[in-house]
Chains A and B, each alone.
Chain A
Amino acid sequence: MPGRHAPPSLGAPRTATTTRCSPPTLTRRQALGLLLTPIAAAWLAPLAAGDGGVGAVPRRDLGVWVDGWLLDSGDL
């Protein structure tokens, strides 16, 4: 996520921290049917690589953020 780190003079890490958390797609939000807080919206993303949307990701690989909780879609 650009902008999350301090200026380079403070030694930004070489690998971005959030590559696993891409922005949510509308499909996924709709599929989960959640009313999301701003934080949850920004963080709603599968944690697995090769994410192709809810249908394409094995259920246990789908992590979602709701109000700071890192949850499994089956928890909801």
Chain B
Amino acid sequence: MHDDLARYAAADPLADVCVIGAGAAGLSLALRLARRGRHVLLCEGGEQDFTLRSQALYEGAVAGDPYIPLDAARLRYFGGSTNHWGGMCRPLDAYDFTAKPADEGTAWPIDRDALAPYYADAAAILGVSPIPPDATIPGLALKRVHFSIGPATRLKETCADEVARSPQLHYCPNANLFGLETRDGRITAAVFKDYTGGEYRVRARQFVLACGGIENSRLLLWCNRRSHGQVVKQPATLGRYWMDHPHATLGRAIILEPAALGLDASQSVFLAPSPAMLAEHRILNCGLRLHRMSDTETGELVEQLTLAAPRLGEWIKQRPLAANGCCGVVLRAAWEQQPHPESRVELADGDLDALGMPRSRLVWRKTALDHHTVRDCALTLGDYLRRRDIGRVRLDPWLTDDTLQFPADGELAGRHHMGGTRMAESPEHGVVDRDCRVFGQDNLYIGGSSVFPSSGHANPTLTLVQLAMRLADHLDARLA
């Protein structure tokens, strides 16, 4: 049911669970617990629709590698960033949870089997369609992989009715988390501000912070400062190991035999390294994307190829494009970023938002391994195409120049905000344990991809909703 925070706080009930943030993670978790009969308080900082006063709280500074402005990389109202997400989904690979030979810091404390029981429910809430199994391609170390590709489910629309009808769920908009009060390793109250100067305290047995992959770090950093370090008692990794999936155009390719890659049947084909390739080439995971060009663009690319390779170019031109099926593709990639402590979210001291909280400062840092990963995958594909005479690639200068560089403009990243409150076996290495519980707090949990210790190459929302549902079951069991 819709509620009002001032009214709710005045009555001072003890909720079973206070969920903070009504995005993909918060909504999936809150609804699952409410269906089990738990008294859930769902506090959302934004309103039912986009408002400038809420969105402005997402403004922040970007340092380090170029990144999308922080208020353009997410949305701050009911449904969160699923109001503009693309709906592309794929589970992480089983080996994404392991220590990869290129960097053992990719290991999760849990394996994929721990999330498997939640796949069907997560797929249902996100509208994920069946995803065909990966397929090997003879002679190529990269395999063909698939995604569920939209249409993007808008949780604002699909969850609205149940949120309004559920008697167990108290949904309060305009409730901006501003502080957490803690005593003896327990959160005793959460403090919220509205937009008119009101400040409210609410009590709950359990608290879940689910405000997105940048805000979870910012809010914990701020709450920790306000509590003089009592919320996250060992904050060495708080805000750190922040990741996105770097996105870039790698070049173009002429594909002489589209069927060999499955391009005859679809406009786009996705490839990713096999586990053996990850180990042998010492790379991280990477999704290569081949997007078919129009015939006109293909013709232009053939002209460029002819300048570099007259014999091959002339041979292609003698054959009518439509008849032989030859096509040009744009080669793009979205890949796994190396988890690195210097890539981080910080508080931008001296720059307060309208509620008086320091804004976020994102210091995004990619590494040489990130460059190596994407370049190696592009070279592996190019070498395969040439050896088998299936095609030829032309890589962009940032991959062929003899310097470590990434494109400074274009898409840059997937807006997949991961890390910052990473899951680990111990508080020296992370912020939450394998149950997503903040180390040193008995009743504070984190929902969302900020707990990812590493990212694989797949879009994160399916996995973070699986984690949120697993967390709901964990909380339900604790409350029993």
- A interface residues, Cβ below 8 angstroms from B: 1, 3-6, 9-15, 17, 20, 39, 42-43, 47, 60-61, 63, 65-72, 74-76
**Closest beta carbon of chain B to A24's beta carbon, Å:** 13
**Closest beta carbon of chain B to A76's beta carbon, Å:** 6
| A39, B403: Cα distance in complex, Å | 12
The contact of A63 among B368, B386, B395, B396, by CB within 8 Å, is: B386
B393 and chain A: residue at smallest CB distance:
A70
| A9, B368: Cα distance in complex, Å | 10
| A9, B312: Cα distance in complex, Å | 44
The contact of B309 among A3, A4, A66, by CB within 8 Å, is: A66
| A66, B394: Cα distance in complex, Å | 9
A71 and B308: CB pair below 8 A? yes
B402 and A42: CB pair below 8 A? yes
B340 and A10: CB pair below 8 A? yes
The contact of B368 among A10, A20, A42, by CB within 8 Å, is: A10
What string of 1s and 0s marks CB contacts (under 8 Å) between B336-356 and chain A?
A: 001010100000000000000
B395 and A75: CB pair below 8 A? no
> Given known contacts A70-B382, A76-B311, is B368 in contact with A39 (CB within 8 Å)?
no
B309 and A11: CB pair below 8 A? no
A39 contact set on B, CB distance < 8 A? 397, 400-401
A-B contact pairs, 30 of them (CB 8 A): A3-B402, A4-B402, A4-B404, A5-B372, A5-B404, A6-B404, A10-B365, A10-B367, A11-B367, A11-B368, A12-B367, A13-B282, A13-B368, A39-B397, A42-B402, A60-B387, A63-B382, A63-B383, A68-B394, A68-B396, A68-B400, A69-B308, A70-B395, A71-B309, A71-B386, A72-B386, A74-B311, A74-B312, A75-B309, A76-B310
| A70, B427: Cα distance in complex, Å | 47
Measured as residues with beta carbon below 8 angstroms from the partner, the interface class of chain B is: 35 or more
> Given known contacts A6-B404, A13-B369, A13-B372, is B392 in contact with A70 (CB within 8 Å)?
yes
B369 and chain A: residue at smallest CB distance:
A13
A9 contact set on B, CB distance < 8 A? 342
**Closest beta carbon of chain B to A50's beta carbon, Å:** 15
**Closest beta carbon of chain B to A37's beta carbon, Å:** 10
A3 contact set on B, CB distance < 8 A? 402
A71 and B368: CB pair below 8 A? no
B365 contact set on A, CB distance < 8 A? 10
**Closest beta carbon of chain A to B369's beta carbon, Å:** 5
- Which residues of chain B in 296-341 are interfacial with respect to chain A, using CB atoms and an 8 Å cutoff? 305, 307-312, 338, 340
B367 contact set on A, CB distance < 8 A? 6, 10-12
| A37, B22: Cα distance in complex, Å | 55
